[in-house]
Amino acid sequence: MGTTDRTWAGAGAAGPGSGSGSGSGSGSGGERTAPGGRARALLTAPARGLVLGLYALVGSVALFVLTVVSIALIPVGVGVFATPPLLRLVRTHAGQRRLLAARWTGIRIPASYRPFPRDLRTGITGQVERCALLLKDAATWRDLLWLLVDMTAGAIIALLAFGLAAHGVYGLLLAGGLWVPVTALEEPHWFTFVPVGGWGTALLAGLVGGGLLALGLAFGPQLVRAHFLVVAAVLTPDRQEQLERRIDRLTETRHDALDSSAAELRRIERDLHDGAQARLVAMGMNLGAIEALVEKDPARAKRLIAKARESSAEALTELRDLVRGIHPPVLAERGLGDAVKALALRLPVPAEVDVELPGRMAAPVESAAYFAVSETLTNAVKHAGASRIWVDISYERGALRIAVTDDGRGGAVVGAGSGLSGVERRLGTFDGVLAVSSPAGGPTMVTMEIPCALS
């Protein structure tokens, strides 16, 4: 049976005002399920349209102009140093829009930036290589095209959601008496097609304004969603590029995955040798001593029996912990969704888990996904200083999709020595991919995708 449910873990948890940190493909947060959330979406759509319009008219315009000028100055050398930091700002700007799309409408917009090679040189030579790699990445040019679309069509759609409601409120204010000072400056004062010059025309303007306000509230969420659909249409890589990216990632991570498996086997062997095995050996020695003392010194034999019982209990506990680290029983019995919920319940911060799975995947994929989520949650708690976490698990178009979002300090990167590198290697075994959006100051959104089939 599939599952479609929502669980809050952690004391005093409460959902974010705009919905989940990263929604599923069909929406996110309380706006999908609760009437109160639907009403909140209608009322907040104009404000969201204004925010998106300002992002587009200020942020996208500035970044587009500066980046184009910087790229044009590459032949004279200045652009080589200015382009990489500007492109990082563009990616941060695009990542913020992806996050808003997930929070406000549940639309997922994947990122497919190619990572820098590990042996990238430093100094001027490294700067030139970095600039060249960024310009060779197809995702860079998609970002620039998106900036152009965002400051034109994207801004118009977003501001329309705000403009309808704002113009409607203005019409109501005219009917309430604002027409008097306004017509003193300009008579007649035109409101849409109504020439306001007295109470009669002011009341007519109020009727028109009420209609505009109703239209703005009714269609505001659809306009906000249309804005993000335009963003997704530009920023989402095509199918061929996604397949090429997966092939490259599979080639890069295959050896890492094998090394990781060997390291995991060595860890299990070490834990067994240093833990349960040592306790079982000690318990065997105690049982031998008990056998020799049971008739000669019954009191000492009883003490050794008690010690053997303690050793057996400790060995059993360590074996259970070891088994849980290899494959948690709840994962085998209840599936990935319930296993992640159980994991979230043990976190020291509130965590929302949203699961939409119509079935179960193969056990190795479930295990890889579970431990990838576990490592990501650990990073969010220990390193990001997060106070709230959202986990969304869904299955779309033949792939398991997991998004872990936190409100921590940001700055997470996939590199040598980071926990996310281990997650990337684990996913790479199954041709999975990892995308991280983590601007300084947060929030951080880690998106994982594993191609698989469901039972």
The verdict on 301 and 341 lying in the same domain is no
Same domain, 298 and 208: no
Residue 342, class by beta-carbon neighbours within 10 Å (0-12 exposed, 13-18 middle, 19+ buried)? Answer: middle
Domain count, the chain: 3
Q: 266 and 176 in one domain?
A: no
User: Which pairing describes strands 399-406 and 444-451: parallel, antiparallel, or unpaired?
Assistant: antiparallel
State how far the alpha carbon of 264 is from the alpha carbons of 190, 326, 425, 426, in Å.
74, 9, 13, 11
Domain with 345 in it: 334-455
Residue 39 structure tokens: 């009403």
Residue 8: what pLDDT?
Answer: 33
The residue from 326, 354, 385 where one domain ends is 326
Q: How far is CA 91 from the centre of its chain?
A: 15
87 and 221 part of one domain = yes
Residue at which a domain ends, from 298, 326, 354: 326
Instruction: Output the pTM of the full model.
Output: 0.54
Beta-carbon count within 10 A of 322 CB: 15
Number of Cβ within 10 Å of residue 439's Cβ equals 18
Tell me, yes or no, whether 222 and 163 share the same domain: yes
DSSP 237: P
Residues 6+ positions from 266 with CB-CB distance below 8 Å:
none
Is residue 249 assigned to a domain?
no
Under 8 Å CB-to-CB from 207, ≥6 apart: which residues?
Answer: 171, 175
DSSP 8-class letter at 236: S
Kindly state whether residues 46 and 192 are assigned to the same domain.
yes
Phi, psi of 400 (to 5 degrees): -80, 125
pLDDT 10s digits, 217-236: 888 889 999 999 999 999 88
Closest CA to 420 of 442, 435, 441, 439: 435
Name residue 334's amino acid: R
Q: Is residue 351 part of a domain?
A: yes
pLDDT of residue 12: 32
Give me 229's structure tokens: 């659909």
Q: What CATH number corresponds to the domain at position 348?
A: 3.30.565.10
Tell me: cis bond preceding 188? Omega within 30 of 0 counts: yes
- CATH label of the domain that carries residue 320: 1.20.5
Specify whether 357 is located in the same domain as 306: no
Q: What is the DSSP letter of 196?
A: E
Residues 287, 179, single domain; the answer is no
Q: What is the phi/psi pair of residue 436, to 5°?
A: -125, 125
Which tokens sit at 96? 């913020």
Residues 221 and 339 in one domain: no
3-class DSSP assignment, residue 120: coil
In whole angstroms, give the CA distance from residue 426 to residue 331: 17
Q: Quote the pLDDT of residue 290.
A: 77
- C-alpha to C-alpha distance for 234 and 198, rounded to whole angstroms: 49
What is the pLDDT, as a whole number, of residue 227?
A: 94
Asked whether residue 41 falls in the same domain as residue 167, the answer is yes
In a domain, 4, yes or no: no
Same domain? For 173 and 286 the reply is no
Regarding whether 291 and 204 lie in a shared domain, the answer is no
Give the residue among 227, 302, 201, 203 at the shortest CA–CA distance from 50: 227
**For each successive 10 residues of the chain (455 residues), what is the average pLDDT?**
36 32 36 54 84 92 94 90 92 90 84 77 83 89 94 92 88 84 80 83 87 87 92 85 69 59 62 65 74 76 78 72 62 83 86 88 84 84 82 87 86 66 77 80 84 83
